[in-house]
A and B are shown apart, each in its own frame.
Chain A
Amino acid sequence: MTEYDVRLDGVSKFFGDVTAVEDVSFEVEQGKFLTLLGPSGCGKTTTLRMIAGFETPSEGDVYLRDQRINDLQPFERDTSMVFQSYALFPHMTVGENIAFGLQMQGIPGERTAADGGSVATQSSGLSGAFKRLVSRHGSEEIDTRVQRVLELVELPEMADRQISELSGGQQQRIALARALVTEPTVLLLDEPLGALDLKLRKNMQVELKNLQEELGITFVYVTHDQEEALTMSDEIAVMNEGRLEQLGTATEIYEEPASEFVADFIGETNLVHGTYAEDDDGASITDGSLTFRVKPHDEASGDIAFAIRPEKIRLGDDARGLDNEFSAEVIDEIYKGNLGKFVVKLENGRQLTVDLQLTDQGDYLSIGRDIRIGWDASNAVTLVR
């Protein structure tokens, strides 16, 4: 049986009249990397904060393993968060920052084997609680675990440094170390790479993914960067305006978008609206004078759209014999790195973006030229939403 570390069941969050999250349900399998992806204001961070306990759901339930945790305080939940701003304590050294979580959970001594596996690791007992208000104890156990996690993030010599002495990238790693040292059931990451420069961000994406696989901890990751999501995630939950648009693997999301929003948000795409019809050969969408062969969809009818990726459109001789074959006029040219991008206009006035590798076809295309374009019906995804 599959075990789920996190489960959201019909969760909504209202702030006054504003709906931040609306009826969101998903499950994260143990040891998986789930990314909540969406534009700013789509509710992804609010969703993450409800798992962490900083917000309480207005409706629905949040489960950690099998426990309903709606009413648990953040300090009673076995989740750790890596904040966008890192939120490292400026008045503590690196080592003290990392040790803090262990000290507050009453390690060592108070955590017994019996509750070692439970969701709530907050140690109870009045004397322990009082002690933690008077002083924060160090111990060999804590030192060992701090050192171990520092080595994990490849900053083994940093324990005695002040936070202000660290670079942005180092702070990011220390924030990660501090969240990991308590060995949480789920690690929550709120755009943790947002403040890093592009190169460092790329490196960290790979490292984070490797770390996650190595530790086998469930990650719930929030980002607005689709490339980051596609690179790192086992599963992606695309959110928009508080709702969950689609949940699936990177390939599913990219190849089989479930809605116009997903098709448009992930990568680049051409959306074509028209009237849907089914026949013996499959399905088609008619836009004015042109009829496009598309992939059939069970729920499709009436005025809907299909999506065709620019790289799925073939040109010239390559286009011959495909399900869709049209003549078009090149009207614009966009360069983007090694990729040539062109805008073409179909007979009915519809404009499409197409990709080609410059290496292949050099100056094959120029503005004003008439060319043939085409694509397979299986690449034209019918969108019912």
Chain B
Amino acid sequence: MSVSKLKVWRSRLMANHGKKALAAQTGFVYLFLYVPIAVMIALSFNDSRTAIVWNGFTTQWYEALFSGEAIARVDPNQAWIALQNSLIIAVVTVVVSVLFGTMLALALDRYVFTGRNLLQGVVYMPLIIPSIVMGISLLLFFNIVGLEQGIGTAIIGHIAFDISYVTVIVLARLQSFNRTLEEAAMDLGASELETFRWVTMPLIKPGIIAGALLGFAMSFDDFVVTFFIIGNQNTLPIFFFGMVRQGISPGVNVIATLILVGTLIIIALAQKIQGITW
């Protein structure tokens, strides 16, 4: 087949089937992404204590959880404590990381100082170092310093990698920021602080919010680092891990589904806040 014939054949194929092929491919990608989650949600309504086989619809696991009964070895009180720990760690981590991460991003963007390139490179390290290395090194550090492991050390550990995520995202936003706007504000009589408040911050706000959301997810999600440094406390991922080791129970599915719903609500709220000027 000559090249020109091949081209004709290809363009005809594209014209006749291109759209369908693209739609099918897109469909597969989404199936790949969402089928496992759908299965988990479905099984949280499955009327079976152990099997991963569909046995009929029930809401009994949800009712049991909300009334505080243990379902298939999952103790709701322990799950609740684990969730509380996860939330406390994530919230404190995000607040501290956003504050210091934004400040670090501003410093790296604005100032030329000795060691800036080194510092900028080092910021990315926690994103690259394997979590397991991070976990071990933090464990060593806390042991040497003599800090008792628990929620506090977990927070410190999470901040150590969360600052990087916030910094990287805010820095990206700052690099597309037009500095002339700040000059204009100061020219009009705004002090440095007023300029930051009314011009810089509103314009880098999407970066800060994105950094906070990612930082929250990273902290809330983290298993490996937390596992090394939290001592005998539980976070939700560690609690789940303990449960799943003894087989998947409907209780795990229920809690995971509820977390998913909670996450969606948080994201919806965050998007609503994005539109409002601080």
Residues on A lying within 8 angstroms of B by beta carbon are 52-54, 73-75, 79-81, 83, 85, 87-91, 100-101, 104-105, 121-122, 129, 132-133, 136, 178-179, 182
Contact = CB atoms under 8 A, between A and B. Distances in A.
B180 A87 contact: yes
Given A91-B202, A91-B203, A74 B180 contact: no
Interface stretch (B63-71, B142-150, B182-190): B182-190
Given A87-B181, A91-B277, A100 B187 contact: no
Given A80-B187, A83-B184, 12 more contacts: A74-B186, A75-B189, A87-B180, A87-B181, A87-B183, A87-B184, A89-B181, A90-B203, A91-B203, A100-B188, A100-B190, A178-B188
Contacts of B277: 91
Given A89-B199, A91-B277, A81 B187 contact: yes
Contacts of A85: 178, 180
Contacts of B197: 133
Contacts of A132: 194
Contacts of A101: 188-189
Interface of B: 178, 180-181, 183-191, 193-194, 197-199, 202-203, 277
Contacts of A89: 181, 184-185, 199
Contacts of A83: 180, 183-184
A104 B189 contact: yes
B184 A81 contact: yes
B96 to A, nearest CB: 22
Contact of A121 (B181, B189, B191): B189
Nearest to B190: A104
A384 to B, nearest CB: 40
A292 to B, nearest CB: 50
> Quick one: which of B185, B189, B191, B277 has the most chain A CB within 10 A?
B189
B219 to A, nearest CB: 29
Nearest to A136: B198
B180 A104 contact: no
9 contacts: A52-B187, A80-B187, A81-B183, A81-B187, A89-B199, A104-B189, A122-B189, A132-B194, A179-B187
Contact of A75 (B178, B181, B186, B198): B186
Contact of B183 (A54, A121, A129, A182): A54
Contacts of B194: 104, 129, 132-133
A88 B188 CA distance: 12
B9 to A, nearest CB: 46
Contacts of B184: 81, 83, 87-89
Contacts of B186: 53, 73-75
Contacts of B178: 85, 87
A269 B185 CA distance: 43
B185 A100 contact: yes
* Shortest beta-carbon contacts, A-B, top 6: A101-B188, A87-B184, A104-B189, A74-B186, A104-B190, A87-B180
B204 to A, nearest CB: 11
Nearest to B183: A54
Contact of B190 (A53, A75, A79, A87): A75
Contacts of B191: 73, 75, 122, 129
B189 A105 contact: yes
A247 B17 CA distance: 72
A179 B184 CA distance: 9
A133 B194 CA distance: 6
Contacts of A75: 186-191
A180 to B, nearest CB: 11
A104 B183 contact: no
Contacts of A54: 183, 187
B116 to A, nearest CB: 17
A41 to B, nearest CB: 19
